[in-house]
Amino acid sequence: MIFFVSLAGLIVFHNQTGLCETGEKNACSLIGIKKTDRVGKNSVETDGAPDSVFSLDLAPKTSSVINEIQIRATHPNGFWSTKGKQGNANYLGVASARNPSEILNQKLASINLSSPQDRGCLLFVSEDGSFTAKDRKYTVKVLFSDGTTWSGPVKVDPSVLTEAPHSAPGVFPVRISASLKGISNYDAVGESRKIGGDDKADGLFHFLLEANNREITGLQIRNVDGQASAWDTIPGSPNGAIGVAYTSDPARLINARDGSVKIPVKDRVELNLYVADNGTIADGKTSYRIAVTFDDGEVSWRQVDRTGPTSSEKPHGSASEPVTAVPSAKVSFLGTWLGFVSTDAVGQYSEMKPDSRADAVFGLDIDVEPKNVVTGIEINNLSGLPRKWGTGATTPGAWGLGVAYQTAPTALINKPDGSVRIPIEGRVQFYLYAADPGDLAESNQHLRIIVHFADGTSYQQFVHKSPSTTSSVIPDSDISSRAKGIITCEFRGFIADLVNTSTKPSKDGYLDGTFITKLQADDKKISKIELLGPDGSVKWSSDPKPPVMFLGVAMYPKIYQLLDVKGGPLSVPVSGRKTIYLYAADNGLLSDPKTRLSLRVTFTDMTSLSADVIK
Q: How much is the average pLDDT of 354-365?
A: 85
The structural domains of the chain, with segments of one domain joined by +, span 15-162, 175-306, 330-478, 485-614
Whether pLDDT at 215 is above 70: yes
| pLDDT, average across residues 444-473 | 66
CATH class of 330-478: mainly beta
What is the distance in angstroms between the CA of the first residue and the CA of the last residue of the chain? 66
Residue 243: strand, helix, or coil:
strand
Topology alike, domains 15-162 and 485-614: yes
Q: Is 203 helix (H, G, I), strand (E, B) or coil?
A: strand
- Give 162's pLDDT tier (boundaries 50, 70, 90): low
Q: What is the pLDDT of residue 342?
A: 67
pLDDT at 132 over 70: yes
| Interval 176-198 mean pLDDT | 85
The whole-number average pLDDT for the span 558-568 is 84
Of the two residues 292 and 69, the one the predictor is more confident about is 69
Q: Which of 109-118, 193-202, 436-445 has the highest mean pLDDT?
A: 193-202
Q: How confident is the model at residue 317 (pLDDT cuts 50, 70, 90)?
A: very low
**Arithmetic mean of pLDDT, 306-332:** 43
DSSP state of 470: -
High-pLDDT (> 70) share of the chain, %:
80
Cα distance between residue 9 and residue 31, in whole Å? 36
Task: List alpha helices for 182-224, DSSP H.
Answer: none
**Res 570: pLDDT:** 93
Q: What is the CATH number of domain 485-614?
A: 2.60.40
Residue 403 is predicted with a pLDDT of 94
Task: Tell me the average pLDDT across 44-55.
Answer: 77
Residue 462 has pLDDT above 80, yes or no: no
Q: How many CB atoms lie within 10 A of CB 373?
A: 15
The mean pLDDT value for 60-68 works out to 73
Question: What is the pLDDT, as a whole number, of residue 36?
Answer: 66
For the ranges 274-288, 331-345, 353-367, the lowest mean pLDDT is seen at 331-345
Q: Which of 81-95, 193-207, 300-314, 590-604 shows the lowest mean pLDDT across its residues?
A: 300-314
Collapsed DSSP state (helix, strand, coil) of residue 368: strand
Exposed/middle/buried for residue 17 (C-beta within 10 Å: 0-12, 13-18, 19+)? middle
pLDDT value of position 21: 37
User: How many angstroms from the chain centroid is the CA of residue 116?
Assistant: 30
5-45 pLDDT tens trace: 444 444 444 444 444 333 467 889 988 887 666 788 888 87
Band (pLDDT 50/70/90 cuts) for residue 391 is very high
The pLDDT, as a whole number, for residue 481 is 63
In DSSP terms, 541 is beta-bridged to: 530, 550
List the CATH code of the domain at 175-306: 2.60.40
- Tell me what pLDDT residue 32 has: 82
534 touches 595 (CB < 8 A):
yes
Range with the largest mean pLDDT of 381-395, 408-422, 429-443: 408-422
User: What average pLDDT does the segment 452-475 reach?
Assistant: 61
CB 276 within 8 A of CB 190: yes
* pLDDT over 60 at 419, yes or no: yes
pLDDT of the residue at 327 = 40
For 277-301, give the DSSP string: --SHHHHT---EEEEEEETTS-EEE
Over residues 169-191, mean pLDDT: 74
Class of domain 15-162 (CATH, top level): mainly beta
What's the whole-number mean pLDDT along residues 47-57?
80
Q: Are 199 and 80 in contact (CB under 8 A)?
A: no
Distance CA 277, CA 55 (A): 36
Closest of 219, 213, 306 to residue 267, by C-alpha: 213
Helix (H) or strand (E) holding 273: strand 268-275
Contacts for 587 with CB less than 8 Å, ≥ 6 apart: 501, 539, 549
Please tell me the predicted confidence (pLDDT) of residue 242.
94
Summarize the confidence of residues 154-168 as an average pLDDT. Answer: 63
Most confident of 165-179, 441-455, 478-492, 562-576: 562-576
Query: What is residue 588's predicted lDDT score, i.e. its pLDDT?
Result: 80
pLDDT at residue 306 greater than cutoff 50: yes
The pLDDT confidence band at residue 521, using thresholds 50, 70 and 90, is confident
Write the CA distances from 571 to 27, 166, 526, 553, 602, integer angstroms. 51, 28, 6, 12, 11
Q: What is the largest CA-CA distance in the chain?
A: 102
Residue with more model confidence, 348 or 175? 348
